[in-house]
Chain A
Amino acid sequence: MNYSIIIYIIGWILKAEAALLVLPALTAIIYKETAIWSFLITILICLAIGIPLTLKRPKNKVFYVKEGFVTAALSWIVLSCMGAVPFVISGSIPNPVDALFETVSGFTTTGASILADVESLPYSMIFWKCFTHWIGGMGVLVLLLSLLPLTGGYHMNLMKAESPGPSVSRLVPKVRSTAKILYGIYLTMTLIEVILLLLGGASLFDSLTISFGTAGTGGFGIKNDSMAGYSVYIQVVVTIFMILFGVNFNAYFLIIMKKPKKAILNEEVLWYFGIIIGAILIIGWNIRGYYANILIALQQSAFQVGSIITTTGFATTDFNLWPEFSKTILVILMFVGACAGSTGGGIKVSRLVILFKTIRKEFHQFLHPRSVKKVIMDGKVVEHEVIRTINVFMVTYLLIFTISVLLISLDNYDLITNFTAVAATFNNIGPGLELVGPTQNFGLFSNWSKIVLIFDMLAGRLELFPLLLLFVRDTWKKF
């Protein structure tokens, strides 16, 4: 284990966080809020720790998969802990566990909140909350990679650890350029959404914070009723952008490279849109009686489906009141998640597609025991290793899920609440059903359960293994 480079990168993470905290500090100046002090103090703490750690460039620059995983996990933990400091200092969220929950929920783009009354927070705090979504969406390590002059291909290992999905592909030969392109696409799409929202009459503050939440597929509402109070135009814009941010960013790169056909014919993207359209139509039909006409029902259905499948977690209506069939579909969509290589969470469409193809292959193997058949995705053979990793991922996923539900059941709430609370945090969505439904919040859980859910959010965002690796003894051994 190359500790020196891990510490060096964590130092840079702290410096980056200090830089990012400047934005909410500016917001505090604009709105003349006293919360400015809490941001300034946090910036100083970050710099005080970060600068000494990065003074010396480590000689040993080797960086293997395990260093990548450990760095990613530790970076996210450090990032979240420091991100929670302003909430505690300013007294907005006095309980440190609550503040950590809120920050982790932000960075992991979950959007689950413990606050009953968001609107009572200072503007700068709301801005910081939503801004964490935007940072966490594409990943802070990817941001570092695009800015820092770290040379060598080793840093692909960092990107692998932080980027969602079973495999990460380079768009261009250099990791740094790949990271830059990803952030370029991310930034451009966010800006387009901000402009569209401004055109719809939203204030600049609202446009920015909503866009941050959409882009990172986070879903912190800035209003107590999430998105219900906004105009239909704004809701539709948000619906479209949520779904767009759930698409594999490789597809956008292909479009930029003027290969739109290849982008659209991507199997995962096709399945993703297929699932979304199917779900919208079924739920729209199922809830048609709850709304004035089928169009409004479809629009509401589309918003909720887009919000849940991309793991954003905005809500325009209390879907907890919908018929059981629709609620069940939404819960299933929670697990499906967005595309690999997007900003969304969940199991990911590509994993599910490969799993279904594996099942089909297994049936084929029963019928023709000696036949040789490979799983094909996008016209390419999926290697056995990839399938194996996905299978292990699924088993681990179910294991953590089960244990988490068991652990938070100590708080003695009903099963649907516990089940959807874990599903909503583990898949980085936000709202669940019943007591943690869209109009409720997570404040009711004990500190113990919140810690379990914090773990789930981090594990879900980093795709299980980086975080779990921290608990394996061999990781810390030299040989």
Chain B
Amino acid sequence: MKIIIIGCGKVGITLAEQLSEENHDLVLIDTSAQKVQEIPENIDAIRLYGNGASINTQMEAGVDKADILIAVTGSDELNLLCCLIAQKTGNCQTIARVRNPIYSKEIGFIKERLGVSMIINPEYAAALEISRLLRFPSAIKIDTFAKGRVELLKFRIRPEFHLNNVLIKDIRRKFNADILICGVEREEKISIPDGDFILKDNDVLSIIASPKNAADFFKKIGLKTNQVKNALIVGGGKLAHYLANLLLDMKIKVRIVEKDKARCDELNELLPNAEIICGDGTDKNLLLEEGLPHTEAFVTLTNVDEENILLSLYAKEHSNVKLVTKVNRIAFDNIIERLDLGSVIYPKYITMDYILQYVRALQNSIGSNVENLYHILDNRAEALEFAVHEKSPVTDVPLSQLQLKDNLLIGCINRGGKIHIARGNDSIQLGDTVIVVTIQKGLRDIRDILKK
């Protein structure tokens, strides 16, 4: 597909990297010549210097033949304008990043009347993800498939779970649990394990299961599954505002520490039920006084990544709370991962995932049938949801007899709203949706899971 991306900031670049890997024709536009020059070499795309909201620039980028235009500049208004112009000149789908809470209340109007196909609000998306994590604090990351009927959960094995030196194929028998382990991260290495894989303490497991079965399994291994009762949030930006709203709806007590007095007043007005503390979140004593040792969740959302990471490390020393750390900018994912900070939220990846999902779904209507896609295992593997629309070599054959690609796993089969964790004698049938976990990127069809 032909895709135009306007705005080469953090999100724009990450998105371009991903899309170029998936073999789309890309045009990147930015008003800053320097930014255009700094686009990494590995991105195979046309680079254009100019104002994305100008018709001339858009025509130069070939908007009349483009399939999708994605506007992710820093300004909401500019993004919307780019989309409007693209629709008038070309005939493409448009995606705009809009983060101002005022506009996000008017998404319905913007979509329907202005014709923008998708509005993505990174802060709100991140807040949703964090709230999901706090509902189920033992997991590092939670994704949902099949409209919430299947969850993909990530958690770290602790010694008290007694999973050290256990074979994966024994788990089902040992715990009588209907779950599937679809990924193991050990130190830097990522594997999609088979039944003979031996688990060790400190491995990070990704499992696929229905929410009920997952909860069952966690109870059996002794992992707490209760939603947190309170949360201490450092940094009172938009994300904190969205998050506090979501948490308060879940009856979670919220305390926000924010430096700026004016912003504190504003937050107090917006969130009358949250406790707003005006003070420097990096002040150790302030955090201790405001109940860091007693809180059940500690969420760092300041604008400085280093600050967030340090605060989380400090909190880890002091108590055994659920940590959520926001990282906006820093690219050293694997080092951060090694710090064992609990859940790390990368708003740029969340934004990217949302947009990629949309692009894939669009592609689906053209030629592929990926319904949903998640980056898991540190962005190095994907979990894809395929819809099976037609007969093919993969259908009606027991899974154990399929010649699957290496490092690929069929997670579960959704048949008429019922979820089956895939076992050897199951088979894929017409009308199913199938969740596949793989390290190979760019699968477009269920047939791609077979060895060529």
| B255 (CB) vs chain A CBs: closest residue | A479
**B289 within 8 Å of A (CB atoms):** yes
CA distance A478 to B229 in the complex (A): 12
Query: When the two chains form their complex, are residues A479 and B230 in contact, meaning their CB atoms are under 8 A apart?
Result: yes
Closest CB in chain B relative to A474 CB, distance in Å: 10
A413 within 8 A of B: no
Is A356 in contact with chain B by the CB < 8 A criterion? no
Contact of B295 among A62, A64, A479 (CB under 8 A): A479
Question: Does B417 reach chain A (CB closer than 8 Å)?
Answer: no
Residue of B nearest to A67 (CB): B289
Shortest beta-carbon distance from B265 to chain A in Å: 14
Bound CA–CA A478/B291 (angstroms): 7
- Shortest CB-to-CB span from B288 to chain A, Å, is 6
- Which residues on the B side are within 8 Å of A479 (C-beta)? 229-230, 232, 253, 255, 291, 294-296
Residues of chain A within 8 A of B295, CB atoms compared:
479
User: Considering only CB atoms, which chain B residue lies closest to A62 in the complex?
Assistant: B288
Contact between chains at A478 and B289 (CB < 8 Å)? no
Whether B230 and A64, one on each chain, are in contact in the complex, defined by CB atoms closer than 8 angstroms, is no
Partner of A64 from B232, B289, B294 at Cβ < 8 Å: B289
Alpha-carbon distance between A479 and B291 when the two chains are bound, in angstroms: 6
Assess the A478–B288 pair: CB atoms within 8 A: no
Contact with B along A37-64 (1 / 0, CB 8 A): 0000000000000000000000000101
Interface size range on A against B: under 10
Which residues of the partner chain A approach B230 to less than 8 Å between Cβ atoms?
479
Question: For residue A62, which residues in chain B have a CB less than 8 angstroms away from its CB?
Answer: 285, 288-289
CB distance from A300 to the nearest CB of B (A): 53
Chain A residues within an 8 Å CB radius of B229: 479
In the bound assembly, the distance between CA atoms of A229 and B291 in angstroms comes to 58
A64 to B296, CA, bound (A): 21
- Complex alpha-carbon distance, A478 and B296, angstroms: 11
Contact count band on B: 10 to 19
Contact with A along B283-306 (1 / 0, CB 8 A): 001001101001110000000000
8 Å CB interface, A450-479 against B: 478-479
Minimum distance in angstroms from B392 CB to a CB of chain A:
55
Smallest beta-carbon distance B257→chain A, Å: 13
**Docked complex: B309-368 residues within 8 A CB-CB of A:** none
Residues of A within 8 A of B288 (CB): 62
Query: How far is it, in angstroms, between the C-alpha of A64 and the C-alpha of B291 when the chains are bound?
Result: 11
Could you tell me the distance between the alpha carbons of A478 and B255 in the complex, rounded to whole angstroms?
13
CA distance A160 to B237 in the complex (A): 35
Interface of chain A, helix or strand or loop or mixed? loop
Q: Closest Cβ of chain A: how far from B319's Cβ, in Å?
A: 11
Residue of A nearest to B229 (CB): A479
> Complex: how many Å from CA A62 to CA B293?
12
Contacts of B253 in A (CB 8 A): 479
**A62 CB, nearest partner CB in chain B, Å:** 6
Residues of chain B with a CB closer than 8 A to A64's CB: 289
Interchain CA distance A478-B290 in the complex, whole Å: 10
B294: nearest residue on chain A (CB-CB)?
Answer: A478
Indicate with 1 or 0, residue by residue over A419-457, a CB within 8 angstroms of chain B CB atoms. 000000000000000000000000000000000000000
User: A residues within 8 A CB of B255?
Assistant: 479
The CA of A62 and the CA of B291, in the complex, are separated in Å by 12
| Residues from chain A with Cβ under 8 Å of B291 in the complex | 478-479
Q: How far is the CB of A212 from chain B (nearest CB, A)?
A: 39
Interface residues of A in 1-59 (CB under 8 A from B): none
Report the nearest A residue to B232, measured CB to CB: A479
Q: Which residues of A contact B289 (CB under 8 A)?
A: 62, 64
Q: Which residues on the B side are within 8 Å of A478 (C-beta)?
A: 291, 294
A155 CB to nearest chain B CB (Å): 15
For the complex formed, measure the closest distance between the CB of A158 and the CB atoms of chain B, giving whole angstroms.
Answer: 16
* B294 neighbours in A (Cβ, 8 Å): 478-479
Cα separation A479 to B285 with both chains bound (whole Å)? 15
Shortest C-beta distance, B275 to chain A (Å), equals 10
Q: What's the minimum C-beta distance from A157 to chain B, rounded to whole angstroms? A: 11
Q: Can you list, as one digit per residue, whether each of B106-137 has a CB less than 8 Å from chain A (1) or not (0)?
A: 00000000000000000000000000000000
A384 to chain B, nearest CB (A): 13
- Complex Cα–Cα for A64 and B255 (A): 18
Min CB distance A2 to B, Å, is 10
Shortest A112–chain B CB gap in Å is 38
**In the bound complex, what is the Cα–Cα distance between A167 and B391 (angstroms)?**
82
State the CA gap A62–B284 with chains docked (Å): 12
A67 nearest CB across to chain B (Å): 10
**CA–CA, A478 and B289, complex, Å:** 11
Measured in the bound complex, the distance between the Cα atoms of B230 and A62 in whole Å is 22
Say how far A73's CB is from chain B's closest CB, in angstroms: 19
- How many angstroms from the CA of A64 to the CA of B295 in the assembled complex? 17
A476 to chain B, nearest CB (A): 12
Least Cβ–Cβ distance between B262 and chain A, in angstroms: 16
Q: State the Cβ distance, A473 to closest chain B Cβ, in Å.
A: 13
Closest to B296 in A: A479
Q: Which residue of B lies closest to A478 (CB)?
A: B294
Contact string, B254-296, partner A, CB cutoff 8 A, digits 1/0? 0100000000000000000000000000000100110100111
* Bound form: Cα–Cα A479–B228 in Å: 12
- Interface residues in B231-266 by Cβ distance below 8 A to A read 232, 253, 255
Given the complex of chains A and B, what is the CA–CA distance between A479 and B252 in angstroms?
11
* Of listed A62, A478, A479, residue having the most chain B CB within 10 A: A479
Interface centre among B289, B295, B296 (most CB of A within 10 A): B289
**In the bound complex, how far is the Cα of B9 from the Cα of A27, in angstroms?**
84
How far apart are B233's CB and chain A's nearest CB, in angstroms? 13
**What separation, in Å, do the CA atoms of A478 and B230 have in the docked complex?**
11
- B266 shortest CB reach to chain A, Å: 19
In Å, the complex CA distance between A478 and B232 comes to 13
Q: Which residue from chain A places its CB closest to the CB of B291 in the assembled complex? A: A479
> Interface 1/0s, chain A 375-419, versus B by CB < 8 A?
000000000000000000000000000000000000000000000
How long is the Cα–Cα vector from A64 to B277 in the complex, in angstroms? Answer: 15
Minimal Cβ-Cβ distance residue in B for A66: B289
| Bound-complex Cα distance A31 to B148 (A) | 86
A151 CB, min distance to chain B CBs, angstroms: 16
> How many Å from the CB of A56 to the closest CB on chain B?
19
Residues of A close to B232: CB separation below 8 A? 479
CB distance from A1 to the nearest CB of B (A): 9
Residue in B closest to A63 when the chains form the complex, CB atoms: B289
C-alpha spacing A479/B233, complex, angstroms: 13
Q: How far is the CB of A5 from chain B (nearest CB, A)?
A: 13
Tell me the nearest residue of chain B to A154, going by C-beta.
Answer: B285
Task: Select from chain A the residue with minimum beta-carbon distance to B288.
Answer: A62
Q: Which of A256-271 contact B (CB under 8 A)?
A: none
A62-B289 Cα distance, complex, nearest whole Å: 8
9 further contact pairs, Cβ within 8 A, besides A478-B294, A479-B229, A479-B296: A62-B285, A62-B288, A64-B289, A479-B230, A479-B232, A479-B253, A479-B255, A479-B294, A479-B295
The 4 nearest A-B residue pairs measured at CB: A478-B294, A479-B291, A479-B294, A479-B230
Contact residues of B with A, CB < 8 Å?
229-230, 232, 253, 255, 285, 288-289, 291, 294-296
Of the A-B pairs whose beta carbons lie under 8 Å apart in the complex, a sample of 8, sorted by A's number, is A62-B285, A62-B288, A478-B294, A479-B229, A479-B253, A479-B294, A479-B295, A479-B296
